[in-house]
Amino acid sequence: MSGNWLVNQPNSRPDIMQLKSAIEELESLRFVIEALPLQSAPSRHYLMALHWISEEKAIKRELAQVVSAMHFIEANEPLTANIRINLAQIRDIRGTLRNIKTGSTPDDIELFELKHFWLLADGIKRFLSDAGVELICLPDMGPVMKILDPEGNRIPTFYICDNYDDELAALRKAYNNAHQRGEKALEEQLKEAAIQREEVVRQHLGEQLHVQYNALRHTMDQLVYLDILLSKAILFKQWNFTCPELYGEGLTNYHGLFNPLVKKILEAKGEHFQPVDITFGFMPTLITGANMAGKTVLLKTVALSQLLVQFGFFVPASEAVIRIVDQVMLSVGDQQSELQGLSSFGAEMVRITGIIRTIRSGKKVLALIDEPARTTNPTEGLALVKAIVELFEKMKVAGLITTHYSGTDFTCRKLRVKGFTETDIPEDISIGNLIRYLDYNLVEDTGESLPHEALRIAGILGVDNELIERAQYYVHEEDRVKK
């Protein structure tokens, strides 16, 4: 996981992150995006080119559109199905549109594609106007229809018909006569003339379509937008995502936050994902808790939600209030850094440097740091965590930092994952059913002492008994010395 979300992409606004680079960074985001039931061939390309939005108004507008789409689907189920059937038939005609834009002469296949597309678009426009809904805005379909369907029979087939040109019609008639009379030489001559005349007609059609390029392009964009919008509405309803409220400078507050990817994996194993509630402001919050208590998943889920909302999506929670930021920065260790030749500590320091640099540049950052400095010695490690927390406090950075380092030394707000409930842990507990006995809820941490659950979990994981007994001896020894 790189600490820098600002990956440069060759697009119209290279400084702004696109969805296609965001999904590379966060697997659960990819999971949500790939679950969208898109219909039309070019939709995925458009979706991947979506830009990160940091203006609250623009996000609100987009979320409101999704809400409208949900209402539309609920009220017009059969109509939605018909619109989606039309959308599913839309081909990727971006190449053809590019040719029209440059003014090159289209061939019959391109003209067929455009006519096929335009008839589908016209059908969708009629469906929407029958329902009196304005989810999208389509142009007057008439001018392009006249070019592509001069006979007005609305059949999605294409050839250069006689109606296009009197001279062509005459040539064809003469050719047919020669063909029937068996005059081979004349036949060939007329065929050649007809083929050349067809090309003149195509050139003329290309010029007319070139004038209509903006209408064509706009229609394509709008239909793809409609496809994405309907797909979002369908998916969010199915997956119980919620439309978040946005607060410029308030607290971020999730109720019933869940990770759809982890939820699905657990459900496949017959287990159940425990949604959590979390509130945080524009000050760092330290999160402690046992191993396997879901701290990393929590950070990734908070990152996922922030990314989703700032790409105009609903979030996986039952209720959510979200503060909009300029950038989400997540630091979670993984094996990739080692593959790049950096030690895990080195890679982490690079990520944290990136985060601090971005904060210093004046950007509003949501910093999510998983167990910083866990791979170095405890003395300096603790010092580093303290320094990060203090720096974030000083610069008023919204951040969640997970750690195993002792909580007493920190002045900032502290949360703890409850972990094992105090009720009896049954004998048959194992790695497979462990999550049933863990409480993933967060509580304010009073900070006296960290729960000693690592060895308990190691035992459940089946770690060698002698190893655990020896470790337990040293834990007791230290507690005794402290007293």
Query: Which chain residues interact with other proteins by CB under 8 A?
Result: 41, 91, 107-109, 112-113, 116, 157-160, 172, 176, 179, 191, 195
Query: Measured from the CB of residue 168, what is the shortest distance to other proteins in angstroms?
Result: 10
Q: What are phi and psi of 6, to 5 degrees?
A: -85, 75
Shortest distance, position 191 Cβ to other proteins, whole Å? 6
- Provide, rounded to whole angstroms, the least separation between the CB of residue 244 and other proteins: 37
Cβ closer to other proteins: 115 or 232? 115
Nearer to other proteins, 60 or 191 (CB): 191
Closest CB to other proteins among residues 108, 478 = 108
| Strand 413-420 relative to strand 284-288, pairing | parallel
Q: Tell me the pairing of strands 245-246 and 319-322.
A: parallel
Q: Which strands make up the sheet holding 252-257, listed edge to edge?
A: 245-246, 319-322, 252-257, 276-280
Judged by beta carbon, residue 169 or residue 412, the one nearer other proteins is 169
- Coil/strand/helix, residue 447: coil
Tell me how far, at minimum, the Cβ of 196 lies from other proteins, in Å. 12
Measured N-to-C along each axis, helices 77-88 and 213-238 cross at an angle, to the nearest 10 degrees, of 130
Chain CA centroid to CA 240, Å: 16
Nearest residue (CB) to other proteins, 170 versus 429:
170
User: How wide is the angle at C-alpha 102 spanned by C-alphas 140 and 137, nearest 5°?
Assistant: 25
Cβ proximity to other proteins, 40 vs 331, nearer residue:
40
Long-range contacts of 429-438 (CB under 8 A, 24+ apart): 429/460, 430/460, 430/462, 431/460, 431/461, 431/462, 432/269, 433/271, 434/292, 434/460, 435/266, 435/271, 435/274, 436/271, 438/290, 438/292, 438/293, 438/294
CA atoms within 13 A on the CB side of 19: 22
Task: Supply the minimum distance, in Å, between the C-beta of residue 465 and other proteins.
Answer: 37
Minimum gap (Å) between residue 161 Cβ and other proteins: 8
Rounded to the nearest whole angstrom, what is the least distance from the CB of residue 112 to other proteins in the complex? Answer: 4
Identify which of residues 171 and 368 has a Cβ nearer to other proteins in the complex.
171
**Which of 376, 375, 368, 335 shows the shortest CA–CA distance to 352?**
368
Nearer residue to other proteins within complex by CB, 115 or 456: 115
Burial class for 75, CB neighbours closer than 10 Å (0-12, 13-18, 19+): exposed
Taking the complex as a whole, how short is the minimal distance between the CB of residue 157 and other proteins, in angstroms?
Answer: 5
